[in-house]
């Protein structure tokens, strides 16, 4: 298995610290607002990575945090806490906001068939771990204190920008009007480990006692404290969006390695953005979509997952409803084909996998090349159409599609070899339509077609007769 490592800027052979065990940490959601489809692209990407590792026989310990305090509106310690902002906007307490949007997050990821992490860690449940890590950094001489916060002093950490490879002078701090900047900071890029509930944050609801005074943790310290608590000082894979590279993950590396003196993470995996109709997603542009809005428009949520598979995780994905419709059609066609695969459990037992399965695994093991993997899967599905037979070829294809779906996550086992159940109402309408066509009453035939469509089915007329398909399998 080979995967791109952001730290080295190369595709590398994946070699875990333990030959059979993989420690994987994913930056989780900040639960102050609704999870949208851009977020889901990243979490589906993490899910694919985990599934590929598991199919490769690794035992994966997957840890993810839930940020319910400390993430300010700017990634660089500026502005107000996002949870506090959400509470003010929605007229709820910070605890109610965090609970509501965390529940919405889980509902969203479950809908697109993402596996739950092995361990989910809320930041507010790990305050002591963060305090202990800050104390260790203080003991090692990497911190200083102002009236507003305890800071990490980046000048004391060599090669601070080794992940981002960005020059510090290119980064802007406090450029937005009205943003409060701590003038006591030694370097404008030093980052907060612990904020005091004074001055700008005197009304902050969430607060805890610490050796430095009452306050709350900064955003960056949480991921280091939580990941090392469950995975150790050094672990195999850390994932996130590409927007985390210049600040959040850069700061994680600095504080973690300053505390332990060890390499923090071996492989850094970053997912690119999802854009909408060629533009960044934003509420002001009214192109900010959630998964339940996709469902309300008649799309199967797994069609969105299929769409994500069509573009490499390191490339931008331009979402349009036309592309989602194409993904829905492809998924419906795949389901229709495998419905007709007649097989028995006995016929598939002990049979070899289809020849395309190795090509499929070669694709996913080559930096998670899911577009190529999908193409290989379709080559197998469309080859040797042997509908109704239970011979070696069908058995090998059945066994292979089930193995492939352990990575694709499209729930194909729910359709494999299970002919479409046609409701009696639709059967009656189909009979009436056939009679209308035979008598030449094509106006009535079209009316019946439209009625069938309203009931969730579409008709495709061919030279060999008609085919009935569900518009969308929920």
Q: Which of 56-70, 246-260, 349-363, 386-400 has the lowest mean pLDDT?
A: 386-400
Q: Which of 132-146, 148-162, 326-340, 444-458 has the lowest mean pLDDT?
A: 444-458
Is 168 within a domain? yes
Q: What is the CATH number of the domain that holds 303?
A: 1.10.730.10
Is 242 within a domain? yes
Q: Is residue 386 predicted with pLDDT exceeding 50?
A: no
Is 80 within a domain? yes
The answer on 318 and 304 residing in a single domain is: yes
- In the prediction, which pLDDT does 350 show? 54
Percent of the chain with pLDDT over 70: 91
Q: Please identify, among 244, 271, 298, the residue that sits at the C-terminal boundary of a domain.
A: 271
The answer on 285 and 243 residing in a single domain is: no
With beta carbons less than 8 A apart as the criterion, state whether 430 and 452 touch: yes
The answer on 323 and 215 residing in a single domain is: no
pTM of the predicted structure, to 2 decimals:
0.89
Mean pLDDT of the chain: 90
The answer on 113 and 6 residing in a single domain is: yes
pLDDT tens-digit readout, 337-360: 998 886 655 545 556 888 899 999
- In the prediction, which pLDDT does 384 show? 66
Q: How many domains are there within the chain?
A: 3
The answer on 155 and 93 residing in a single domain is: yes
Average pLDDT (182-205) is 92
Cβ neighbours of residue 73 closer than 8 Å, sequence gap 6 or more: 79, 80, 82, 85
Average pLDDT (154-163) is 96
Average pLDDT (317-338) is 95
User: Domain limits at 188?
Assistant: 2-271
- In the prediction, which pLDDT does 174 show? 45
- In the prediction, which pLDDT does 394 show? 76
The answer on 284 and 240 residing in a single domain is: no
The answer on 52 and 171 residing in a single domain is: yes
Give the residue among 252, 181, 200 at the shortest CA–CA distance from 222: 252
CA 130 to chain centre: 26
Q: Is residue 181 predicted with pLDDT exceeding 90?
A: no
The DSSP code for 311 is S
Is 419 within a domain? no
The answer on 406 and 288 residing in a single domain is: yes
- In the prediction, which pLDDT does 388 show? 42
Is 13 within a domain? yes
Q: Is residue 250 predicted with pLDDT exceeding 80?
A: yes
Q: Is residue 177 predicted with pLDDT exceeding 70?
A: no
Q: Which of 6-10, 80-84, 129-133 has the lowest mean pLDDT?
A: 80-84
Greatest C-alpha distance within the chain:
91
Q: Which two tokens stand for residue 376?
A: 């290989």
Q: Is residue 175 predicted with pLDDT exceeding 60?
A: no
Q: Is residue 474 predicted with pLDDT exceeding 60?
A: no
- In the prediction, which pLDDT does 168 show? 80
Q: Please identify, among 221, 240, 271, the residue that sits at the C-terminal boundary of a domain.
A: 271
DSSP letter string, 389-452:
--SHHHHHHHHHHHHHHHHH---GGGTTT-PPPPPHHHHHHHHHHHHHHHTT-HHHHHHHHHHH
Measure the CA–CA gap between 371 and 361, rounded to whole angstroms. 12
The answer on 80 and 189 residing in a single domain is: yes
- In the prediction, which pLDDT does 392 show? 52
Q: Say which residue, 420 or 171, is predicted with more confidence.
A: 420
Average pLDDT (249-260) is 98
The answer on 60 and 201 residing in a single domain is: yes
Q: Is residue 401 predicted with pLDDT exceeding 70?
A: yes
Average pLDDT (417-426) is 84
Average pLDDT (293-321) is 96
Q: Is residue 78 predicted with pLDDT exceeding 80?
A: no
- In the prediction, which pLDDT does 173 show? 54
- In the prediction, which pLDDT does 353 show? 86
The answer on 433 and 409 residing in a single domain is: no
Q: Say which residue, 167 or 472, is predicted with more confidence.
A: 167
Q: Please identify, among 271, 301, 318, the residue that sits at the C-terminal boundary of a domain.
A: 271
Is 351 within a domain? yes
The answer on 333 and 453 residing in a single domain is: no
- In the prediction, which pLDDT does 189 show? 92
Model confidence at 473, pLDDT cuts 50, 70, 90, reads: very low
Give the residue among 320, 314, 321, 323 at the shortest CA–CA distance from 273: 314
Q: Is residue 471 predicted with pLDDT exceeding 80?
A: no
pLDDT tens-digit readout, 278-295: 988 876 777 889 999 999
């Amino acid at each position: 298995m080979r995967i791109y490592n952001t730290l080295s800027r190369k595709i590398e052979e994946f070699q875990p610290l333990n030959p059979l065990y993989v420690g994987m940490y994913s930056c989780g959601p900040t639960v102050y607002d609704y999870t949208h489809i851009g977020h889901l692209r990243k979490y589906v990407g993490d899910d694919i990575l985990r599934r590929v590792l598991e199919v490769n026989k690794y035992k994966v310990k997957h840890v993810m945090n839930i940020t319910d305090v400390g993430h300010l509106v700017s990634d660089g310690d500026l502005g107000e806490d996002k949870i506090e902002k959400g509470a003010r906007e929605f007229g709820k307490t910070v605890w109610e906001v965090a609970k509501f949007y965390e529940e919405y997050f889980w509902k969203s990821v479950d809908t697109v068939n993402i596996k739950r992490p092995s361990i989910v860690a809320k930041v507010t449940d790990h305050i002591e771990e963060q305090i202990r890590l800050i104390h260790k950094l203080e003991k090692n001489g990497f911190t200083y204190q102002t009236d507003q916060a305890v800071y990490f002093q980046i000048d004391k950490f060599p090669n601070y920008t080794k992940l981002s490879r960005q020059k510090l002078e290119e980064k802007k701090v406090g450029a937005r009007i009205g943003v409060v900047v701590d003038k006591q900071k030694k370097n404008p890029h030093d980052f907060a480990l612990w904020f005091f509930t004074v001055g700008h944050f005197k009304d902050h609801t969430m607060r805890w006692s610490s050796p430095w005074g009452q306050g709350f943790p900064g955003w960056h310290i949480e991921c280091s404290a939580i990941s090392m608590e469950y995975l150790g000082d050094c672990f195999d894979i850390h994932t996130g969006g590409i927007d985390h590279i210049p600040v959040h993950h850069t700061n994680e590396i600095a504080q973690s390695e300053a505390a332990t003196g060890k390499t923090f993470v071996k492989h850094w995996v970053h997912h690119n953005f999802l854009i909408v109709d060629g533009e960044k997603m934003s509420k002001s542009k009214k192109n900010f979509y959630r998964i339940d809005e996709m469902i309300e428009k008649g799309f199967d949520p797994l069609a969105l997952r299929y769409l994500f598979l069509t573009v490499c995780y390191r490339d931008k994905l331009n979402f349009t409803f036309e592309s989602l419709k194409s993904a829905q059609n492809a998924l419906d066609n795949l389901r229709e084909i495998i419905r007709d695969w007649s097989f028995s459990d006995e016929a598939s037992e002990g049979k070899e996998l289809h020849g395309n399965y190795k090509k499929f695994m070669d694709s996913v093991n080559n930096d998670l090349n899911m577009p190529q993997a999908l193409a290989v899967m379709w080559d197998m599905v469309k080859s040797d159409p042997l509908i109704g037979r239970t011979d070696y070829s069908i058995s090998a294809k059945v066994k292979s599609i089930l193995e492939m779906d352990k990575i694709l996550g499209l729930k194909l086992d729910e359709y494999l070899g299970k002919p479409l159940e046609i409701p009696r109402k639709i059967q009656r309408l189909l009979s009436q339509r056939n009679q209308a066509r035979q008598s030449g009453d094509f106006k009535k035939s079209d009316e019946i077609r439209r009625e069938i469509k309203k009931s969730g089915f579409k008709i495709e007329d061919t030279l060999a007769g008609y085919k009935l398909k569900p518009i969308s399998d929920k």
